[in-house]
Amino acid sequence: MNAPFNRHTGLAAPLPHQNVDTDQIIPCRFLTGSRSDGFEQFLFHDLRHDSAGRPKAGFVLDEPHFRAATILVSGDNFGCGSSREQAVWSLLDAGYRAIVAPSFGEIFYNNAATNGLLAIQLETDQVSRLLQSLADGPRDIAIDLPQQTLSAEALGCVRFPIDAFFKDCLVSGMTALELTLTHLETIDAFERAHKAELSWAFARPYTKPMLDPALTRQRP
Amino acid sequence: MSNTLFEKVWASHEIMELHGRSLLYIDKYFLDDGSAVLSYEQMEAGGLEVRNPEQALSLSDHYVPSRPTAMIFADTDARRMSESAAKFAAKRRMPHFGFGHPYQGISHVVGIEQGFSLPGLTLVCGDSHTATHGAVGALAFGIGSTEITQVMAAQALWQMKPKTMRINVDGQLGMGVEAKDVILAIIGTIGTKGASGYAVEYAGSTVDALGIAQRATICNMSIEAGAKIGMVAPDDVTLQHLVGLPFAPVGESWDQAVLHWRTLRSDSDAKFDREVHIDATAIEPVVTWGTSPEDVLPISGCVPDPASEGDPDRKRQMLRSLEYMGLVPGVPLCDLAIDRVFIGSCTNSRIEDLRAAAAVVRGRQAVVPSWVVPGSQLIRSQAEREGLDQIFIQAGFEWRLPGCSLCCGNNGDYVAPGERCASTSNRNFIGRQGPDARTHLLSPSMAAAAAVTGRLTDVRRLPRLV
């Protein structure tokens, strides 16, 4: 179970870049930790530090008044790139509950849904107005997930779209895995019929390394 | 009712629907030494069993060392990642191609090379470049660690059905233009989120004429255009590739499979939500100049000027990219000196890629540190039988061991801060090849040309060697 997500009010911080990819969110070299170790110290590591590992001055989220932020507002295509779930975990571990952007990388979006991090898609001009309002300091944003509304001084109260599946998982706290396990009988029945129909796909389980035709064959 | 290739495969794997998502049956999956390691933790913690170990293939690619003279892991973490994969697989009697195994390599190279990836099957891996397997007509996509856990435990995933897009590439490619140029040109045309929310089918006379390796290069970078799924309809080229491979069906199963595979193409009157047309004859060898794969220009171009960009967001993004890349507007791309070259990754490490690079390198000398990292042990052996390794070694290249290596640096292979790398990999993101590393994406023959001149170079303009 994830913690159920219904309403959340918190300080918002801006990261006004497009295409914030998962390599920027958490670089490759910090992916070996265990989930229980936490990933917050690696969040945006290379935007926060120079190549010698010293803190960089001027990274927006390190400004003292943004440290307590729980909502991140960013540009188009947030979370594009690699499938690393650590991108979502590092945001959650650093205290973020929701990300607001005009669009999201698809794998990131699914990973967010899996872990109870709310990804809110708003229109580009709405996000621009939010980013402008956050330029000189944090502002409160109030999110009501059951009503699908977001309230901020710069926007008033606006409705956001969300797919029903994601919403249901977040509100109930039930994970996709738990939900799947309640449908095991349906999966069993489907699998039997499927394997009968596509028997060729399951007819040759791999047992041990065999003499490989590719080894002796000249490919064109 | 007419359907697209994607819709046919999707429909045959849909178990049920709930709240607009499909519970999709997953035929096969890869476990690697990257994202999957977090799933092993989840499996153990949740007391979950692997439902169908025979439908999995485990291997080590992200964390294995690439330096043949050392053959030691970068650190204890890298070793632990690789060993967890081996241990998990051994306990569940899954095939595991670990460090040193004769079939070891990058999952997206090995799956296609072994016939594990088959037309019409659903296939997943905890890696965003899984669409690569669409080259043989598989419906393949990348997932997160928790989703891998779900596949191991239940063999099914909740997915939103994407819209359909067909990218038609027609015409003959010019001399020196490769599949990598085609996919980079596509991303440059539609943008990094141009295919977000879509499953892409690549079609047209150009794609029909390509081999499986080149189709793999194209499908591989679907995610750089925003799409989780990219596929090519199976045809004679696909069947000739698959026949006799270790995991491919044999005997009567082969015949049944072929009958099924012959139905896997978009019906002539099938409707796509979006169609894109690309003229292959207009594609030149390209390179990226910025920090997003959409920042693509022909090698004959110049570093673009943000001052002439009207969109303020895009302008800001360009300024940020140019600052990171250390570039000045107006400079011809072919004047840019580079510090190193990487030929490898799941995009461009197949034997065809190595042959293309070797053809440029033969008789010349690399003037900057240059690496070749084959995609698998089988490719490495094949290249050695063809003498390609000697061409590279005599030219001063390092001939390395298979794996992901310098594409992402998980194994400790990095581009030094501030260095400019001509790379056949798939991402030029900030910090992707190491902190402050500057990446220019290009094709294998363009990378080879950069290695022998020390700058970004139009491979077509290299003097012919007799």
| Rounded mean pLDDT, B149-154 | 97
| Residue B396, min C-alpha distance to chain A (Å) | 27
Rounded (10°) CA dihedral B262, B226, A22, A164: -90
Residues of A in contact with B246 (CB under 8 A): 206, 210, 212-214
Whether residue B296 is found in the same domain as residue B160: no
pLDDT surpassing 50 at residue B188? yes
Whether residue A130 is found in the same domain as residue A155: yes
The nearest alpha carbon in chain A to B412 belongs to: A29
Whether residue B51 is found in the same domain as residue B156: yes
Cα gap B164→B166, rounded to integer Å? 7
Q: A189 lies in a domain?
A: yes
**Closest CA relative to residue A86, chosen from A19, A54, A120, A41:** A41
Per-residue confidence band for B463, with pLDDT thresholds at 50, 70 and 90:
confident
What CATH code is carried by the domain that includes residue A84? Answer: 3.20.19.10
Q: A101 lies in a domain?
A: yes
High-pLDDT (> 90) share of chain A, %? 85
Whether residue B20 is found in the same domain as residue B106: yes
pLDDT surpassing 90 at residue A47? yes
- Give how far Cα A99 sits from Cα of A6, A70, A72, A74, A148, Å: 15, 9, 5, 8, 14
Q: What is the pLDDT of residue A217?
A: 42
| Rounded mean pLDDT, A150-169 | 95
| Residue B116, min C-alpha distance to chain A (Å) | 9
The nearest alpha carbon in chain A to B145 belongs to: A85
Whether residue B320 is found in the same domain as residue B371: yes
pLDDT surpassing 70 at residue A214? no
Range of the domain at B20: 5-274
Whether residue A40 is found in the same domain as residue A114: yes
Whether residue A162 is found in the same domain as residue A72: yes
Whether residue A70 is found in the same domain as residue A154: yes
pLDDT surpassing 80 at residue B352? yes
Per-residue confidence band for A218, with pLDDT thresholds at 50, 70 and 90:
very low
- Which secondary structure element, helix H or strand E, spans residue B147, and what is its range? helix B145-154
Per-residue confidence band for A51, with pLDDT thresholds at 50, 70 and 90:
confident
Whether residue B81 is found in the same domain as residue B159: yes
Whether residue B267 is found in the same domain as residue B124: yes
The token duo for B150 is 């779900």
Q: What is the pLDDT of residue B93?
A: 86
pLDDT surpassing 60 at residue A162? yes
Q: What is the pLDDT of residue B70?
A: 78
What CATH code is carried by the domain that includes residue B168? Answer: 3.30.499.10
Whether residue A34 is found in the same domain as residue A111: yes
Residue B431 DSSP one-character state = T
Dump pLDDT digits (tens) for B81-126: 999 999 999 999 888 999 989 999 999 999 999 999 999 999 999 9
| Residue B48, min C-alpha distance to chain A (Å) | 11
Q: What is the pTM assigned to this prediction? A: 0.96
Cα gap B323→B281, rounded to integer Å? 33
Can you state the angle between helices B212-220 and B179-190, rounded to 10 degrees? 30
Q: Give me the residue from A83, A165, A168 closest to B143, CB to CB.
A: A83
Q: A42 lies in a domain?
A: yes
| Residue B224, min C-alpha distance to chain A (Å) | 7
| Rounded mean pLDDT, B407-435 | 96
Q: B466 lies in a domain?
A: no
Angle at B291 between CA B289 and CA B293, to 5 degrees: 80
Flag if A201 and B27 touch (Cβ within 8 Å): yes
- A206-215, B2-11, B246-255, B324-333: least confident range: A206-215
Residues of A in contact with B35 (CB under 8 A): 83-85
- Give how far Cα B430 sits from Cα of A31, A55, B324, B343, B438, Å: 17, 17, 8, 19, 8
Q: A209 lies in a domain?
A: no
- List Cβ neighbours of B236 (8 Å cut-off, separation of 6 or more): none
What residues form DSSP beta bridges with B230? B200
The nearest alpha carbon in chain B to A182 belongs to: B154
Q: B228 lies in a domain?
A: yes
Per-residue confidence band for B466, with pLDDT thresholds at 50, 70 and 90:
low
Whether residue B105 is found in the same domain as residue B199: yes
Whether residue A115 is found in the same domain as residue A152: yes
| Residue A41, min C-alpha distance to chain B (Å) | 16
pLDDT surpassing 70 at residue A219? no
- A33-42, A132-141, B70-79, B179-188: least confident range: B70-79
CA pseudo-torsion sign B319, B320, B321, B325: positive
Q: What is the pLDDT of residue B117?
A: 97
Q: What is the pLDDT of residue B290?
A: 98
Q: Which of residues 185-204 of A touch B (CB under 8 A)?
A: 186-187, 190-191, 194, 197-204
Q: Give me the residue from A23, A84, A213 closest to B35, CB to CB.
A: A84
**How many residues does the structure list for chain A?**
220
Q: Give me the residue from A19, A106, A181 closest to B292, CB to CB.
A: A19
Dump pLDDT digits (tens) for A190-199: 999 999 999 9
Domain count, chain B: 2
Chain-centre distance for alpha carbon B378:
18
- A162-176, B162-176, B370-384: least confident range: A162-176
Whether residue B344 is found in the same domain as residue B428: yes
The token duo for B183 is 């996919």
- List Cβ neighbours of A62 (8 Å cut-off, separation of 6 or more): A48, A55
Flag if B142 and A51 touch (Cβ within 8 Å): no
Whether residue B153 is found in the same domain as residue B266: yes
Q: A186 lies in a domain?
A: yes
Among the candidates B246, B274, B302, a domain finishes at: B274
Q: A50 lies in a domain?
A: yes
Flag if B246 and A212 touch (Cβ within 8 Å): yes
Whether residue A93 is found in the same domain as residue A118: yes
Contact with chain B for residue A27, Cβ under 8 A: yes
- Which secondary structure element, helix H or strand E, spans residue B159, and what is its range? strand B156-160
| Rounded mean pLDDT, B130-139 | 98
Whether residue A191 is found in the same domain as residue A122: no
Whether residue A85 is found in the same domain as residue A192: no
- List Cβ neighbours of B47 (8 Å cut-off, separation of 6 or more): none
Q: Give me the residue from A31, A110, A165 closest to B147, CB to CB.
A: A110
Q: What is the largest CA-CA distance in chain A?
A: 69
High-pLDDT (> 70) share of chain B, %? 100
pLDDT surpassing 60 at residue A213? no
Whether residue B297 is found in the same domain as residue B426: yes
Whether residue B219 is found in the same domain as residue B315: no
Q: Give me the residue from A83, A198, A202 closest to B142, CB to CB.
A: A83
Dump pLDDT digits (tens) for B27-84: 999 999 999 999 999 999 999 999 999 999 999 999 999 998 878 898 999 999 999 9
Supply the ipTM of this predicted assembly: 0.94
Q: Which of A15, A17, A19, A170 to mutate to test the interface with B (most CBs of B within 10 A)?
A: A19
Q: A220 lies in a domain?
A: no
Transcribe chain A into DSSP letters. Answer: -PPP--EEEEEEEEE--S---HHHHS-GGG--S-GGG-SGGGTTHHHHB-TTSPBPTT-GGGSGGGTT--EEEE-TTBT-S---THHHHHHHHTT--EEEES-B-HHHHHHHHHHT-EEEE--HHHHHHHHHHTTTS-EEEEEETTTTEEEETTTEEEE----HHHHHHHHH---HHHHHHTTHHHHHHHHHHHHHHTHHHHS----S----HHHHPPP-
Whether residue A76 is found in the same domain as residue A184: no
| Residue A78, min C-alpha distance to chain B (Å) | 10
Flag if A23 and B127 touch (Cβ within 8 Å): no
Q: A215 lies in a domain?
A: no
Whether residue B86 is found in the same domain as residue B153: yes
Q: B281 lies in a domain?
A: no
Per-residue confidence band for A136, with pLDDT thresholds at 50, 70 and 90:
confident
Dump pLDDT digits (tens) for B304-317: 999 999 999 899 99
Cα gap A213→B10, rounded to integer Å? 31
Contact with chain B for residue A55, Cβ under 8 A: no
| Rounded mean pLDDT, A19-48 | 95
Residues of B in contact with A19 (CB under 8 A): 192, 292, 317
Whether residue A199 is found in the same domain as residue A188: yes
pLDDT surpassing 70 at residue B340? yes
Return phi, psi of residue B40, to 5°.
-60, -40
Q: What is the pLDDT of residue B140?
A: 98
Q: Which of A34, A60, A82 to mutate to test the interface with B (most CBs of B within 10 A)?
A: A82
Domain count, chain A: 2
Cα gap B191→B430, rounded to integer Å? 17
Range of the domain at A194: 174-203
Whether residue A46 is found in the same domain as residue A12: yes
CB atoms within 10 A of CB B196: 23
Q: What is the pLDDT of residue A5?
A: 93
Contact with chain B for residue A214, Cβ under 8 A: yes
